[in-house]
Structure 1
């Protein structure tokens, strides 16, 4: 019988691999996918575009309210139909050719003492060297035939861009930030959201010279009927008893949402090394980071997902214990190939993405 696993990071390799989301490259569900029933894909998706479009929350609106970084298939646009996105796309920026899904999150900005803003660049996560920044994607299942892969047209949203207070979920927090104190993901040996010192559900309050990692989890229960709902949330839910921590795809789904789906987690790494000088921070000592949505707390971190895997490729990967990027059922793409998959910028702005700005794109100064 499947038992929820606990990552014993102190027992891991003891090198750099144990200091990122890739610490999950070791023990997994029920003794590890190499010796147990579980599956967990972990792979990088390069950036396809950064712009103000949001086909879930603001469908058809150009530009939308705030900036996002987008990865995945080139079918991404301001209005995405409830259709099989895999048939709409011609390429993907993700590691597996079969994944033409789209994933997007808010951008991060630095608020300087003089009131100006600059985008904090995303960088490739560890073991995704060569990627054009982007997002690391995880799909986790406790075993064969225990989760049902998403259907064509499925989409969902996790997190709340308007949240400004903690959910007080402790180690089961659904989104967290890790503050790295040294280069190369150094300073923590814990799995995502488990470090009692360097993981928080709010923005770090101290400089992070090694960068910041953001982890965002999606719900794991589905109503089995709706591919989407008006708020992009009501068709999915957490198990009875509340949200589980990452890769613990256990717990009983509520009767209203009886179908267990793979757990998706997104992992974003920002290079904050150029913003560690406290002389550039606000004079009152407050932390200087702000999400593109205007959130200065970090509690409003959120992510969007539009399913786009070809055929039953994701179901087969989950049922056959595919592990990280080791999956003979899927076709791998090199960074050189997937970095070529981009979409033209549709939301025209009057500024360059990397210049200092007097306000956040879309207006506002952070709330």
Structure 2
């Protein structure tokens, strides 16, 4: 592993206290309260009662990720109805959050709507409902609280806390120091009269649905956990190809997702930053991308790279404070413009890489990982100077002079035939620990995107997400559509296969 050189800064008591206070009270904690009767009563005063022992969110089977066999001609109608399922969950969550009826009534209505939409999906697929069995009912997912802090979803169990980070992060010093040791002690002591162990009546927060105090950890207390990459074999490809595309134009931000919900406005229910192609919205298609402009220095790279924005939980309104995808769905605070976005393509330890097909679509990470579990959660968070320690389900608190980083490693194996698949995952795969691709897949250049932010001092932050995902860091994700010219893609492949560093 590469040795890291960094200055180990110290967090002031003020920093920790403000982060804790904002995360719980003014920066966006939290969660929906579930009172003893589960009917969302407000009492005589009309004010929400203080959360006592349990809170949570809505958990629904993720139909989109389960569909593996959808006829090509049925996909537009299926995608439209999948987007409607997301819309139904978002509305139901909002109703619960605002106490518009009992939780039982809201869930009953949601499941009725969901059943009709599932029937529409089955009809679009020629009456084949076999892939939809057992995916109708949504449930209440408890988020256990201890002293007013979220501790993780009941249905996630050990998966979310142990999951992809493995025992080194959650079971080792991070588990001791961050969860129950130094961080908990420092925060509880520093807050003093701030009410460290109390949650405000509405479960706190600028929007009332996260993040929580428990979502942040001191990066200096995380043990190094990055594994060495597999050693390149004789036929391996060791080069890299970089493309410079800037950090995104605020005017291009939108809450669409053309891969998952083509033709559906606000299909993401959260806002994306875009670099590369300047024509990406819900209604874009391959021709749109071909004819669009690009922010990339190499004008032959019209690919689109997009990811959810990060917002400072500073209590301030953004331009989208009253819009869908923004404040109406709990995505609040000042949007932070990235300090940098490093986009590069890497090789494969076992073999040469082959060119990506034009218009190949890849999603890395899972926007619903908090309720889905961590199977597809692979985006990571860290701080500059501490790149040897990466977090999947925690936001890092960085010392002075260090920037927050998000790293997205994309799938680097392709099935050799399809530019997309019904669940947007089956046509690509991650390489194994030794770098080898699964049977039937071939190695392609691996996209790695690293984004850095200078977060204002003493300010917690959160990634945009579906409202019911509670702004958990484990839900981070990144999207890519290859629109490089054939010549440029071949140049990248030649560079990577010959062991050069280009771009």
2:358 aligned with 1:152, yes or no?
yes
CA displacement, residues 123-156 of structure 1 (integer Å, 9 cap, x when unaligned): 332xxxxxxxxx3212001489811121122112
Q: For residues 215-230 of structure 1, what are the structure 2 equivalents within 5 Å? A: 215-230=407-422
Aligned to 2:486, the other structure's residue is in SS state coil
2:293 aligned with 1:293, yes or no?
no
Residue of structure 1 in register with 2:437 after alignment: 253
Q: Give the superposition deviation at 1:62.
A: 2.1
CA displacement, residues 258-294 of structure 1 (integer Å, 9 cap, x when unaligned): 21111111112222124x25xxxxxxxxx65342434
Q: For residues 257-296 of structure 1, what are the structure 2 equivalents within 5 Å? A: 257-274=440-457, 276-277=458-459, 289-294=462-467, 295-296=470-471
Counterpart Cα distance in 1 of 2:315 and 2:474: 22
Normalising by the residue count of structure 2, what TM-score does the alignment of the two structures yield?
0.45
2:116 aligned with 1:122, yes or no?
no
Residue of structure 2 in register with 1:202 after alignment: 393
Bigger relative contact order (CA 8 A; separation at least 6): 1
1:93/1:239 Cα in 2 relative to 1: closer, same or farther (>3 Å)? same
8 Å CA contact retained: 2:365, 2:476: yes
8 Å CA contact retained: 1:39, 1:317: no
Aligned to 2:489, the other structure's residue is in SS state helix
CA displacement, residues 203-262 of structure 1 (integer Å, 9 cap, x when unaligned): 32646653311001111111111111122111011234xxx5xxxxx522112x421111
1:176/1:78 Cα in 2 relative to 1: closer, same or farther (>3 Å)? same
Q: Give the superposition deviation at 1:102.
A: 0.1
2:3 aligned with 1:9, yes or no?
yes
Q: Which runs of 5+ in 1 are unaligned?
A: 1-6, 17-27, 126-134, 180-184, 245-249, 278-286, 328-367
CA displacement, residues 304-354 of structure 1 (integer Å, 9 cap, x when unaligned): 111100123122222234889744xxxxxxxxxxxxxxxxxxxxxxxxxxx
From 244, 269, 274, give the equivalent of 1:44.
244
Q: For residues 283-362 of structure 1, what are the structure 2 equivalents within 5 Å? A: 289-294=462-467, 295-321=470-496, 326-327=502-503
2:281 aligned with 1:77, yes or no?
yes
Counterpart Cα distance in 2 of 1:312 and 1:71: 21
Counterpart Cα distance in 2 of 1:51 and 1:138: 24
Counterpart Cα distance in 2 of 1:70 and 1:258: 29
Structure showing greater radius of gyration is: 2
1:251/1:144 Cα in 2 relative to 1: closer, same or farther (>3 Å)? closer
Residue of structure 1 in register with 2:367 after alignment: 161
Counterpart Cα distance in 2 of 1:239 and 1:157: 15
Q: For residues 93-112 of structure 1, what are the structure 2 equivalents within 5 Å? A: 93-112=295-314
Q: How many residues align?
A: 258
CA displacement, residues 64-100 of structure 1 (integer Å, 9 cap, x when unaligned): 3211001102232322324594x322x3112322211
8 Å CA contact retained: 1:41, 1:323: no
2:170 aligned with 1:176, yes or no?
no
Q: Give the superposition deviation at 1:167.
A: 4.0
1:273/1:37 Cα in 2 relative to 1: closer, same or farther (>3 Å)? same
1:234/1:83 Cα in 2 relative to 1: closer, same or farther (>3 Å)? farther
8 Å CA contact retained: 1:38, 1:144: no
8 Å CA contact retained: 1:144, 1:319: no
1:314/1:251 Cα in 2 relative to 1: closer, same or farther (>3 Å)? same
Counterpart Cα distance in 1 of 2:484 and 2:271: 25
Q: Which runs of 5+ in 2 are unaligned?
A: 8-228, 317-329
Higher helix share: 2
